[in-house]
Amino acid sequence: MQDEPREWVRDELVISTDRARIDLDAVHRFLVSSYWAAGMPRAVLERGIENSLAFGIYAGPRQAGFARVITDLATYAYLSDVFVLEEFRGRGLSKWLMECILAHPDLQGLRRFALFTRDAQGLYAQYGFGPPRGKSVYLERWAPNVYSATRS
C-alpha cells in the first residue's frame, strides 16, 4: 500500500503513518503475547503492515502504541492490532489514536468500518462503533491456530 505519511503531534508525542518509523521488534513483541495475535510470525506482521495503513504512537524514538487499518480506501476498513504499551497507558493515547485514525483523509466516506474487541467496547463506542446494523449477518471463516500451524 502506497500512502503519503501523515503525522499528528501532541506535546512530546507523535502519531505517524510512516512505516519506516515502526519499531517492528516492539510491535511484534507485544502482538505475539496478545490474545488476538498470539504466536504471529514476524514475517506475517511485516506483510500485514506493508499492506495496511499503519499508525504508530511515538514518545521520541520509542514505540508507545500501534494500530493498523486494513482497507480498500474506498468502501471498507477494518481496525486491527490496536495497543498502547503499559508504561504509556493512562494518558488518553488510545482516544487520541482513534481520533487520528478516524480523521485520516483516506478513511473518509467509507460505507463500513469494522473491528473486533474482547475488552475495549467502551472505548470504541465513543467513536460510533457498535454491534452490526441492518439485515446482513456477519459470517467468518476462522482459523484460530493458524500461527502455530505455520511455525517451523
pLDDT at 152: 47
In CATH, what number is assigned to the domain containing residue 77? 3.40.630.30
On the question of pLDDT at 145 being above 70, the answer is yes
Classify residue 136: in a domain, yes or no.
yes
Distance CA 134, CA 46 (A): 35
pLDDT tens digits for range 14-29? 999 999 999 999 999 9
Classify residue 146: in a domain, yes or no.
yes
42-50 vs 24-32: helix crossing angle, rounded to 10: 120
β-strand partners of 62: 59
pLDDT tens digits for range 27-58? 999 999 999 999 999 999 999 999 999 999 99
pLDDT tens digits for range 57-100? 999 999 999 999 999 999 999 999 999 999 999 999 999 999 99
Q: What is the DSSP string of 55-88?
A: EEEEETTEEEEEEEEEE-SSSEEEEEEEEE-GGG
Classify residue 11: in a domain, yes or no.
yes
On the question of pLDDT at 151 being above 60, the answer is no
Classify residue 109: in a domain, yes or no.
yes
pLDDT tens digits for range 95-144? 999 999 999 999 999 999 999 999 999 899 999 889 888 888 888 888 88
If pLDDT is split at 50, 70 and 90, which confidence band does 150 have? low
If one counts the domains in the chain, the total is 1
Distance CA 129, CA 137 (A): 17
pLDDT at 71: 97
Classify residue 63: in a domain, yes or no.
yes
The closest alpha carbon to 41, from 28, 53, 26, belongs to: 28
Classify residue 70: in a domain, yes or no.
yes
The whole model's pTM is what?
0.90
Residue in the block written with cell 490496536: 82
**Residues of the domain holding 110:** 7-150
Classify residue 1: in a domain, yes or no.
no
Classify residue 86: in a domain, yes or no.
yes
pLDDT at 1: 65
CB 91 within 8 A of CB 78: no
